[in-house]
Structure 1
Amino acid sequence: MITGKIEITIKINELPQSNTVENGWQQFDVDCDGRIISVTVKPKIWKKLTDAASNYPQWVAVIAGKLGQQTEHGFVLEEPNIQVFERKPKAETTSAFGAAS
């Protein structure tokens, strides 16, 4: 047997409702197909999400972390990290084959 680690990746595109916990950290839950994932992040990481929500008309955030303690309806995401990307609307493209009728 070899050892491995489980890393969870969650994608969101809207700002979750959060609760402030000690030292300004933010805690929020994400419903992933009926499993509730509890995430607690530092203020600096939370700012990435709030900046994306206010600066980009469309955005997507990738939350990655380790599988943590199981809860009643899901689990806790340990050591979460968030990357935010602006989502550009896809331009209408006409293929060369469709244009030559």
Structure 2
Amino acid sequence: MIAGKLEITIKINELPQSKTVENNWQQFDIDCDSRIISITVKPKICKKLTDTASNNPQWVAAMIAGKLGQQTEQGFVLEEPNIQVFERKPKAETTATPGAA
């Protein structure tokens, strides 16, 4: 048998409702196919997500990656979460001159 590394990636396209827990960390739950994933992040990471969403209404999605943690009644805890937010860039309009060859 060889050793492997299990990582979980969750994609979201709307802001989760978070609550403040110990040391101003933010905690939120995500329902992934009826499994509830509990995520707790530093205030700085949560601010990055909310700032991007409020400053760019065209944001597409956030990827939350981490390790499989303790099992809960309805799902599990995501340990060492990291969030990446992707912004949708508007496509530049191309203007073609008719009859140009």
TM-score (norm. length: structure 2):
0.85
1:28-87 Cα distance to aligned partner (Å, 9 max, x none): 000001110000000010011111120111221110000000000000000000011102
SS of corresponding position for 2:23? helix
Unpaired runs of 5+ residues, structure 2, are: 93-101
Q: How does 1:3-82 map to 2 (within 5 A)?
A: 3-59=3-59, 60-82=61-83
In 2, Cα distance between equivalents of 1:12 and 1:67:
18
In 1, Cα distance between equivalents of 2:26 and 2:3:
32
SS of corresponding position for 2:68? strand
Identity percentage of aligned residues: 86
2:66 maps to a residue whose letter is G
What is the match of residue 94 of structure 1?
none
Count of aligned pairs: 92
SS of corresponding position for 2:79? strand
Q: 1:54 to 1:35 in 2, by over 3 A?
A: same
Of stretches 50-59 and 15-24 in structure 1, the one that deviates more from structure 2 is 50-59
In 2, Cα distance between equivalents of 1:70 and 1:89:
41
Unpaired runs of 5+ residues, structure 1, are: 92-101
CA contact (8 A) 1:36 1:73 kept: yes
What is the match of residue 98 of structure 1?
none
The root-mean-square deviation of aligned C-alpha atoms, in Å, is 1.6
TM-score (norm. length: structure 1):
0.85
What is the match of residue 98 of structure 2?
none
